[in-house]
Structures are given as structure tokens and as C-alpha cells.
Structure 1
Amino acid sequence: MQVELISHTPEPERLVAAAARLCYSPRGAGQLLAAMSREEVDKLLRLLISRGHDSPLEHITFTFAIEGVSRVLTHQLVRHRMASYSQKSQRYVNEDGFEFIIPPSIAAVPAALARYQECMKVLQRAYHELQELVPREDARYLLPNACETKLVCTFNARSLFNFFRLRCCRRAQWEIRELALKMREEVRKVAPLIFSYAGPSCETEGVCYEGSASCGRAAVVRRRVREEM
């Protein structure tokens, strides 16, 4: 899996702080952007996030190039509707000899891996043969969820907070959790203060909302916080 942050709003943390301060200042956004010190920006961001005032986060966006993921992953990803997506088309792109994603549980069992790879070869051959008989857009119905895909997606920071809360959780499906962790690592390089608060509720609140399905991490986080106080 490859994840690259290919574009983002310049000076994202300063822009969020200026947008928030604008609501309570007679000065314009341009003046605020120029005048606010780094200390003022940091203080205001901490205040905003601690109080749950998230709307200013919608002013900054982050665009990712993602490769080496499956259609299983992208079917989950597009459920996060406050984002924009452009994905490789199986209608127009020939998938002869398509690459495919192998789940770790299958890779760890030799018999399962052999059977899995055998099935993929059958599908690759059938897809190739079917294209000789019908349009590619119909032959693609044979392509599996494991088929490798590529996409570009753009999120605003508020939507990313929601995405990280749900998908960095240990109970998230393994592939999209790996994606979420890589995306969070990328945005922390350019907006470290904002995204230091982003993650599953066990990390950010010391609380888990999964009930009996909880992995138990929230209790560990609470205990660590108490020990550090």
C-alpha cells in the first residue's frame, strides 16, 4: 500500500486559527493571517479542539494519492461521503493480468494462499477470454473485490477527524485501518498540532463506544494517563 499526501491547503493550522478568530474580531481574515503569532495559533487551536468547535477545520483540505489497495477497501472508503474521489475505472482500463491484494490471514496459511492464488489465475484467464466476446465493461463483472486499484481522494480536516476516529480503531477492518494510519501519519507532517488530537476515542478521550466488543485499550489509556499525572 502506498499513500502520499500530494496537495494540501498552505499553512493549514494558521488558516484554521484565523478563520476561527475572524468570528470575534473586527479585522479581516488577511490581517489575521499575517498578524497572529505561532503561540496565538497554537493556543487557539487547542481551545477550539478541546471545546469541540470543529467547523473551522472545514476550511483546510488534504489530497491523497493511494495505490496498492483493494476494491474491498474502496467500497468502505466511499462511505465517508464528505470527501471527493477519483478512482481507476475498470470500464476503461484493461485489467488483464490484474494485481490483487492478499489478506494477511490468507498469506499466513500455505494451503489457503495456494487456493487463493489459483482462484485469481482462473479469474484472470476468464476475464481475458470474456473480453473477446463481450465489451470490457461487462467482462469486468468477473473481477474480484481483491483486485488492486488506485485513487485520489480529498478530505477536509473535519471529515478526516471522523475518518480517523472510526478507522484507526483496532476493530476496523485491517486494510482500511492500515490506510487510515498512513493517512494520519501524512497529515501530521503538515498540521501536527491539529492532528495530534485525531484518532479513535480510546486515544483521544480514554473512552470506547464499542461496548462488549471493545478491545480494552481505553482502560489502558486511562491508566497510563493517571500514571503520568
Structure 2
Amino acid sequence: MGAKVKLINYTPNPERTVAAAARLCYSPTGAESLLDSMDRNDIERLLGIILGNGHLSTLEHISFTFAVEGISRVASHQLVRHRIASYSQQSQRYVKEKGQFEYIVPKKIKEDKEMVKLFKENMKKQQKVYDELTAKLMDSGYKEKEAIEAARYVLPNATETKIVISMNGRSLLHFFELRCCERAQREIRDMAKKMLRQVREVAPIIFKKAGPLCETERRCKEGKLSCGRLAKIKVGK
């Protein structure tokens, strides 16, 4: 199943907003009248120009917010490397892991029953240690929040997390270029593809050609680290 991704908010009429901002740069008319005067053809033409020329600063006027569940702390650590964004992540300081904490099993491990068994046994051990540390700390006089704040250090990167993400349009294009690439780690790549499908529904022109460079520009800047997909695309495979 993978990550659960939902676009929960975005700038109203994002493509009209971007087009109006672009036109304002070269027009004596105010922004409000520009919004009223543009028809769909005007919007498509202006977006075609700015996207084609790489003049993407006007995309910073629009924002998209996603609620994401079912990703690991491994994926969230990669996600927050995208600095021009805002994040609100479920806190392990305030949210106690009760019973067995949720965790993500990597696909490579899922392919082998013995590895899955070993992985799950370790998750149970981690929960047990977490519970024991929490109880001992509370017995020592610490409040629950203080106890779980310390005990969380034993929780693994596989621990499931929830996060709200907001990015502007320009940052999202860059995010999709990097994270929809085959070289991106599978978990964050699957999440990025789900995000892309949803923003295409509300801003189809802006995100029509979003994605890895091998698809959008028939080039790759990974050099010797390239996955080789570009060569297959060029020969139509």
C-alpha cells in the first residue's frame, strides 16, 4: 500500500494566480484587473512561456499542502532536506508508542520470508525496550512526557511517522525532479509520485511535465551514477 498522501489545501486558482503574477511584471494594469481579464487561453499561453523559458519565480506565489501517513523516519529524514518548505511532524516526545509501534518494512526485505521474520522480531524487541525504559523512568519520578522523551532514542528509523508538508510550486517542481527519479529511494519516490498525481489534478499545465529529467527533458545529470533509464527512453523502450 505504501504512504497515504492527501492534498489537503492549495492556493485557489493556482494557474490563474501564476499567470497574473507573470503578466503584472510587464503590464501597467493592476493585479486584480489582470485576474478578471484573463481567459483560459491567456493563462495557457503565459504559463507556456514562463515554463518554457525557465522563469519560475512566479510559481513561488502558489502553495500546496499535503498530509502524509505511513512513511518511515528514513523517508522523513530525506524529505526535510528540501529546505524551501514547511513541515509539521508527529512528535515522539508527546505521542507515546503503545502496544506495538507502527513500522515500515522495506520492499527488499519483504521479498524474503526469513528476513521479514527477523525484521519483525527486532521491532518487537525495540518496543519491549521502549516500554521497559519508559516504566523505569516513570518509577524514578519522571513524568510520562519526560520518560518517553528519553525512551524514544531506542526507536528505529523504520518507525512510522505522520507529517504535513507545504511547498510552493517552484519547490515542488524541483522536488519531483529529484524524488520521482529512479535513483531516489523507493519509499520517498512512491510518495512523490502520489503527490504529483494529485497536484496535476488542480494545476495540470504547471505540472504536466513535472518529474525526472530523463522524462521531461530527455537528459540526465547523474553522470556515472545514472540508472540507465534515459537510454531506454531514447530508443523507445
The aligned residue for residue 101 of structure 2 is 98
Residue 193 (str. 1) matches residue 198 (str. 2): no
Deviation at residue 90 of structure 1 after TM alignment? 0.1
Residue 215 (str. 1) matches residue 223 (str. 2): no
More divergent stretch after superposition (177-186 vs 212-221): 212-221
Give the one of 160, 167, 184 matched to 1:155.
Answer: 167
Please tell me the root mean square deviation across aligned C-alpha atoms, in Å.
0.9
User: Equivalents in 2 of 1:189, 1:106: separation in Å?
Assistant: 34
Deviation >6 Å, runs of 4+: none
The aligned residue for residue 227 of structure 1 is none
- Structure 2 unaligned runs (5+)? 138-146
Give the one of 121, 126, 130 matched to 1:123.
Answer: 126
Alignment of 1:35-184 (within 5 A): 35-96=37-98, 97-134=100-137, 135-184=147-196
Aligned partner of residue 205 in structure 2, secondary structure: helix
User: Equivalents in 2 of 1:33, 1:26: separation in Å?
Assistant: 14
Q: CA offsets, 1:52-71, max 9 Å, x none?
A: 00000000000000000000
User: Equivalents in 1 of 2:127, 2:22: separation in Å?
Assistant: 53
Deviation at residue 129 of structure 1 after TM alignment? 1.1
Deviation at residue 212 of structure 1 after TM alignment? 1.8
Deviation at residue 223 of structure 1 after TM alignment? 4.0
The aligned residue for residue 6 of structure 1 is 8
Give the one of 22, 25, 37 matched to 2:24.
Answer: 22
Deviation at residue 133 of structure 1 after TM alignment? 1.7
Aligned partner of residue 6 in structure 1, secondary structure: strand
User: Equivalents in 2 of 1:121, 1:150: separation in Å?
Assistant: 21
Q: How high is the TM-score relative to the length of structure 1?
A: 0.96
User: Equivalents in 2 of 1:221, 1:120: separation in Å?
Assistant: 41
Q: CA offsets, 1:88-140, max 9 Å, x none?
A: 00000001221000011111101100000000000011111110122110000
Deviation at residue 222 of structure 1 after TM alignment? 3.5
User: Equivalents in 1 of 2:86, 2:199: separation in Å?
Assistant: 17
Q: Does the 8 Å contact 1:206/1:219 carry over to 2?
A: no
User: Equivalents in 2 of 1:219, 1:21: separation in Å?
Assistant: 39
Given residue 146 of structure 1, which amino acid in structure 2 is its aligned partner?
A
Aligned partner of residue 207 in structure 1, secondary structure: coil
Deviation at residue 217 of structure 1 after TM alignment? 2.0
Deviation at residue 220 of structure 1 after TM alignment? 3.3
Given residue 131 of structure 1, which amino acid in structure 2 is its aligned partner?
T
Deviation at residue 216 of structure 1 after TM alignment? 2.1
Given residue 23 of structure 2, which amino acid in structure 1 is its aligned partner?
R
Aligned partner of residue 58 in structure 2, secondary structure: helix
Q: How high is the TM-score relative to the length of structure 2?
A: 0.93
